[in-house]
Amino acid sequence: MLRIPWTEKKTNERVLNEANKRRSLVRTIRKRQATFLGHVMRRGRLEHLVTTGKFEGNRSRGRQREKIIDGLATWLGPGKVSDTLAAVKDRDLWRDMIANASKQGT
């Protein structure tokens, strides 16, 4: 891109600043997760139960695993997971939330 030799030992952040670029992979992943979550939550089948963690069974030992919904709730902005799940039902509101969060970055 900028033809910087590896011997200069520049960090990735510095190279991105010189190229006037921003990291976009995490933002793309979160955006796709959010659109998939909206699709799954509106269908309301088995995937809905698995995503929200409302299925029966014993919990494994150790620290709880972070669910997709928890990560998206923090990415989409301040609020509870229940607020995020309520917003999924309204497709236009959900699209606006995703668009606003992806403009802000990670």
Q: 71-87: per-residue pLDDT in tens?
A: 888 888 777 777 888 88
Secondary structure (3-state) at 95 = helix
Contact status, residue 76 vs residue 5, Cβ threshold 8 Å: no
Say whether 90 sits in a helix, a strand or coil: coil
Is the pTM higher than 0.85? The answer reads: no
Average pLDDT over residues 52-64: 74
Q: Looking at residue 73, what is its pLDDT?
A: 81
Residue 73: closest CA among 64, 86, 89: 86
DSSP 9: -
Residue 21, SS3 per DSSP: coil
Domain regions of the chain by residue span = 10-104
Residue 90, token pair as written in the block: 């309204």
